[in-house]
Structure 1
Amino acid sequence: MDYYTLVRFAHIVGFILLGGGLLAVFVSELRAYRTRDVRIFAEAARYTAIFYDALTLPGAVILALSGFLLIFEMGLGFFDEPWLVGMWGLFLFEFFEGNIVTRIQYRRTLRESVKALEQGRLTEEARGEARTLLGQITHFLDIPLFLVIVYCGAIRPATWNHVVIAIVVALAAALILTVTVPRLARRETGPEQE
């Protein structure tokens, strides 16, 4: 097995870990949105932290290292192709956003869930303290932007138009998710229970 094949395999493993982690975090957060049970809320917050640290972060690191090596191995310039700029540009944005905003947000949710668990109930105030609007926006932006990164790598669009359209569609999807998912989840949970 040659060097290129190993690096490419590592890149695929990184994508699997990152994508799996993002989906697991999404499902875990959806569970937290849909519950009134403080134990389930705390469990979902704990699983979000575990999935992020065990899957998403290692996947991102593997992806970054292998992607960097693949660019050099394939003899590509960082700014030569729109699809490549789209991949690494969005990846860098997601990496920094994930390790700054998202990490702060899920740690905050974890802290607030522990407080709520100690109090024995989950109130709307505690839920509001756990989730900020910026945290919600970045949370619902993760999967759509990840799909644009996958699109850029798999389809390799040769023009900027396709990359920009994909990003606009991802932003629209993130906006729709940010507006609808919390509202639908709150509607399902019904009024606050004492």
Structure 2
Amino acid sequence: MKSTLIKLPIITSVLLCIAFLLGKFMPSFVLLKLLHVLAFITLGSGLIGVVVSDLRARRAADFPLLVDSIEAMLGFYYRLVVPGSMLILLSGFSMVFGYYGWSFMEIPWLAGMMVLFVFEFFEGHLIMKFHYLKLKQGILAAKQANAPVPELEHELRARLTLATHFLDVPNFTLIVVLGIVRPTDWTLFSYGLVLVVAVTTWMAVVIPKRHPWKGLRKMSPVLDAHAQAS
């Protein structure tokens, strides 16, 4: 946990320095824009994959399927969400440093995208990172015990990460909408922010009620050969 708090500002600072250099010396804006689009595709795919894996885990009727679904969730996070967000930080700030400068603060759609992304970046790399680290530890402990463990169930039911978990996709969607529509005032940002909060609240209330975590102790405590091997 402490290593994450130390690494994040270092990695972020390095990426911002690289972004500044790219913005100043990259000869083509098109290349940066292409990298930015690919980064958004990567991040969006990862965020959707995380939510789908979460729903699959909530509907799991046996412990091996639960383990498989949680591992899929972790895979989407570490293999798509994390690198995607890093690439967006790198490409996005490169374009800002190289082509907009501090005037981006006077452009509603761009400033709104920056605010929402910075929030999502630190939320995803702090709150959700700790959550996924604990899930990873819980899965490893469950595999070693070959049975459900209380630590895993406690982390799955943690309320702190419930809202932030469901916030990612609506917030990401608003970022994309701002980048596509490019409004000249703050109206879309304001109404979009209200809609993001409403959708997140609905998901955080309705989904756990419709698909509550089943008691892990009621599941089969024996993992199949494939789950043990993985």
TM-score by length of 2: 0.75
Q: Return 94-103 or 73-82, whichever deviates more.
A: 73-82
Please say if residues 24 and 51 of structure 1, whose CA atoms lie closer than 8 Å, have aligned partners that are also in contact.
yes
The corresponding residue for 1:164 is 190
The corresponding residue for 2:3 is none
The corresponding residue for 1:67 is 92
Please say if residues 113 and 130 of structure 1, whose CA atoms lie closer than 8 Å, have aligned partners that are also in contact.
no
Q: Give the secondary structure class of the aligned counterpart of 1:79.
A: helix
Q: Give the secondary structure class of the aligned counterpart of 2:105.
A: coil
TM-score by length of 1: 0.88
Is the aligned partner of 1:37 residue 2:37?
Answer: no
Query: Partners of 1:178 and 1:14 in 2: how far apart?
Result: 27
Query: Partners of 2:137 and 2:179 in 1: how far apart?
Result: 37
Measured after TM superposition, the shift of residue 128 of structure 1 is 3.4
The corresponding residue for 2:36 is 11
Larger radius of gyration: 2
Is the aligned partner of 1:46 residue 2:47?
Answer: no
Counterpart of 2:181, as a letter, is I
Unaligned runs of 5+ in 2: 1-26, 221-230
Counterpart of 2:56, as a letter, is R
Measured after TM superposition, the shift of residue 186 of structure 1 is 2.6
Q: Kindly report which structure 2 residues correspond to 1:1-194, keeping only aligned pairs within 5 A, or say none.
A: 3-75=28-100, 77-122=103-148, 126-186=152-212, 192-193=218-219
Counterpart of 1:154, as a letter, is I
Please say if residues 38 and 120 of structure 1, whose CA atoms lie closer than 8 Å, have aligned partners that are also in contact.
no
Counterpart of 1:156, as a letter, is R
Counterpart of 1:152, as a letter, is L
Measured after TM superposition, the shift of residue 124 of structure 1 is 8.4
Measured after TM superposition, the shift of residue 61 of structure 1 is 1.1
- 1:102-141 Cα offsets, whole Å, 9 max, x none, are 1111121222233344455548884233331121111100
Unaligned runs of 5+ in 1: none
Q: Give the secondary structure class of the aligned counterpart of 1:159.
A: coil
Measured after TM superposition, the shift of residue 101 of structure 1 is 0.6
CA spacing shift, 1:5–1:119, aligned 2, 3 Å? same
Please say if residues 38 and 117 of structure 1, whose CA atoms lie closer than 8 Å, have aligned partners that are also in contact.
no
Q: Return 123-132 or 60-69, whichever deviates more.
A: 123-132
CA spacing shift, 1:67–1:187, aligned 2, 3 Å? closer
Measured after TM superposition, the shift of residue 3 of structure 1 is 1.0
Q: Return 119-128 or 44-53, whichever deviates more.
A: 119-128
Measured after TM superposition, the shift of residue 80 of structure 1 is 1.1
Query: Partners of 1:175 and 1:90 in 2: how far apart?
Result: 17
Measured after TM superposition, the shift of residue 145 of structure 1 is 0.2
- Which aligned segments of 4 or more residues in structure 1 are displaced greater than 6 angstroms? none
Counterpart of 1:68, as a letter, is F
The corresponding residue for 2:5 is none
